Amino acid sequence: MGKKKITAEIIGSFENGDYDQIKIQVQNGLDQGLAPEELLSDGLITGIRVVGEQFRRGESFLPDMIMASDAFQEGMEILEPVMMQAGTERESTGTIVIGSVKGDIHALGKNIVVNILQIEGFNVIDVGIDVPASMFIDEAEKNKADIIALSALMTTTMPQQREVIEHLEARGSRKQYYVMIGGGPTDKTWADKIEADAYGETAVDAVSLALAYMEESKGGDG
Amino acid sequence: MITFQDVVYRALTGPITSGKDYDLKLLVSTSRRLAKEYEITYDPDNPVPNDDDLADRIWKAGVELFVDVGAYCPDTERRITFTSEEINHALALPSGKIKFGSGVDRRTFPRRLPEDTTPPWCSLGAGGCAVSSEFHMMSLIRAYARNPLCWSITTPSLTHVDGLKIVAGSPLEIEGAIRNITLVREALRQAGRPGLPVVNGVASAAHAASHIAGLGFGIEQTDAMEIGAHHEMRVDFDSLNKVAYTLIKGTQIWAENGVILGGMAGGPATTAIVTAAYNLLDMLVLRGSVQHPFPIHFNLRTTTTRDTLWVRSVANQAITRNSWLPVANLGYVGAGPMTKMALYETAAWVIVSVVSGGSIEAEGIAKNAHVDHTSPIEPYFASEVAHAVAGLGRKAANKIVKSLLSKYEDNLADAPIGSPLQECMDLESGEINANFLELYRDVRQEMTDEFGIEFKYPSLYI
């Protein structure tokens, strides 16, 4: 089977939601002698971006994103040992700690952001829902994060976004992290008021902002 | 019907399932399978389908989904399941007359069918929109209560008590809940309608503790409490605790479900099935007297997109044709107060709801995302439209809704935020801004001239 055909099959499986096939196709590609970097970039990454585009156009939905992301991870579990052996591991876009702030148990918007971030190659530390301020910072320190992203879906949990920023200031580590906020009742005015670095109105906005920041912090221009 | 105690027992002893398996292996895969089996497909050309068979297929798929997957309790990581026999038994029970309010404002909540001429229940207000002061809140409540078509109040939500910002889970949330209902009661007294029922009297309260506080201080048996599941079909202990105390208090429940189109419920067809399944969850688990659905777009955060309107219509038709648990639909429009777009969006979701068998709760404006971005005019207009279109056929409604969509749908992604309340009305006198009145009168006239909508009652504002 041709190299292009195998990567096209992987992309097709993402496109059609045949996620169970992907790990088999990745293994098949390796067995056929394809380079793992090629399977990753031309197969898995291209394929998962197709799902991301479908999502942006409203043609696929959150479950597809999660299943595509799981299939991507399964493919990576096959490729990573081979790539590590060859010293060609995938470079992470950046590390981000994300969660819903203390008192807020809404997860859906945050989960959408998590999945798109993973598609874009971020190392995502999802700390979940109802997360105390100190836990965001502990996880950011532990994982040497670049970004902390804070979701709040209620007017009564918005103050907890400020709380995280105040805790960062109290620890003297505010400048180490790019702090992004989002969620239904939040807006740019609130972000400015609490001195967050960015506000993402939608999941797609949030990821674009994170990508732009990483691009800028690495000094690249694309 | 099985008891609430049975439900709690099942939450504690039901089949163990991880949250991810519940979502992906049960909810998603079953709803997708059922959409195929029952041939349920989204038709963007017809936001208000005139197809009883489609409605009944969605209902059957919803029942099958609920039997197959049940509700999910994240605290125990167990499913709360029901047999077909238990569901059929519950559905066969007489509906009874559900009444809310007291004195001259005591009314029976109607069970309506698609194209029903029965006047819809109009719960009017801010749908929980945050307001910056107690003064804003009381001015708004008095304005809502001026409207004789207002049969219950959906309150705004306080952001502060005594200058302190309300923080979820703190004692301020408890005080906020009590302050909320206390102020609403006083404003209703001032407006001369003390018996008007309040359906979300603790709007700023997220947790059971503050719901219970509100029930202990201000909420009456003649009001209602809004209690919801989490996305999707997840009912945690906190929600069950709210139900437990509300039942003990003898207050009725509006069980709310804003199923997210694009979220775990997937696309329009599966979102309609999940919304239908919620009718059973609301009846059996949340013990609702009214189902309070508002299928909402995951990204645009409104209920007025073409696909969410289709879901609203077919799910309403499915539910109201087959279940005694009546529907009161909530709406969230993208545009803000004092814009024509907000009124067009309002007309669209109200028409879809009413001709498809629902009553209404109007409404969240500017996605309910901006403090003080609410006004009494949009809910007033909603109630006028709701009464005007009771009895309208689905085919005629479909044509009107398509025309309305053509007026706003391209602007939903960048909907205008509109004006804050203090610019829409004089908060002391209640007088509405003259420009706003002109805009309202223009759109109201447009409804008659362009769509033949005949309003049943003279307007308070003309």
Confidence (pLDDT) at A1: 58
Taking an 8 Å cut-off on Cβ atoms, the answer to whether A159 and B370 are in contact is: no
Structure tokens at A129: 């829902």
* Closest CA–CA distance from residue A110 to any residue of chain B (Å): 11
Strand B252-257 relative to strand B224-228, pairing: parallel
Taking an 8 Å cut-off on Cβ atoms, the answer to whether A62 and B157 are in contact is: no
* Tens digits of residue pLDDT in B209-253: 999 999 999 999 999 999 999 999 999 999 999 999 999 999 999
* Tens digits of residue pLDDT in B366-421: 999 899 999 999 999 999 999 999 999 999 999 999 999 999 999 999 999 999 99
- Residue ranges of chain A whose CB lies within 8 Å of a chain B CB: 58, 61-63, 66-67, 102-109, 112, 154-157, 159-160, 184-187, 202-204
Chain A contact set for B263 (CB, 8 A): 61-62, 108, 112
Chain B contact set for A112 (CB, 8 A): 263, 298
Residues 6+ apart with CB under 8 A from A211: A93, A120
Strand partners, B329: B360
Q: Which DSSP string do the residues of B298-350 spell out, in sequence order?
A: TTT--S-SHHHHHHHHHHHHHHHHH-SS-BEEEEE-SS-SS-HHHHHHHHHHH
* Closest CA–CA distance from residue A195 to any residue of chain B (Å): 18
Residues 6+ apart with CB under 8 A from B171: none
User: pLDDT in tens for each of the 222 residues of chain A?
Assistant: 566 799 999 999 999 999 999 999 999 999 999 999 999 999 999 999 899 889 888 889 999 989 999 999 899 999 999 998 888 777 889 999 999 999 998 888 898 899 889 888 899 999 999 999 999 999 999 999 999 999 998 888 999 999 999 999 999 999 999 999 999 889 999 999 999 999 998 888 899 999 999 999 987 543
Strand B130-131 relative to strand B157-158, pairing: parallel
Structure tokens at B360: 């209404």
Strand B328-332 relative to strand B224-228, pairing: unpaired
Taking an 8 Å cut-off on Cβ atoms, the answer to whether A184 and B159 are in contact is: no
Asked if the interface predicted TM-score (ipTM) of this complex is over 0.90, the answer is no
Report residue B434 CA to chain centroid gap: 30
B39-48 b/e (C-beta count within 10 Å ≥ 16 → b): ebebeeebbb
Which of A58, A185, A204 lies closest to B369 in CB terms? A185
* Closest CA–CA distance from residue A33 to any residue of chain B (Å): 34
User: Is the previous residue joined to B446 through a cis bond, with omega within 30 degrees of 0?
Assistant: no
Strand partners, A182: A151, A200
* Closest CA–CA distance from residue A74 to any residue of chain B (Å): 16
CA distance A204 to A183: 13
pTM score, whole prediction: 0.93
* Tens digits of residue pLDDT in B49-107: 999 999 999 999 999 999 999 999 999 999 999 999 999 999 998 777 899 999 999 99
Chain A contact set for B238 (CB, 8 A): 105
Q: What is the mean pLDDT of chain A?
A: 91
Chain B contact set for A191 (CB, 8 A): none
Distance set, CA A205 to CA A108, A114, A212 (Å): 16, 13, 10
- A-B C-beta contacts closer than 8 Å: 83
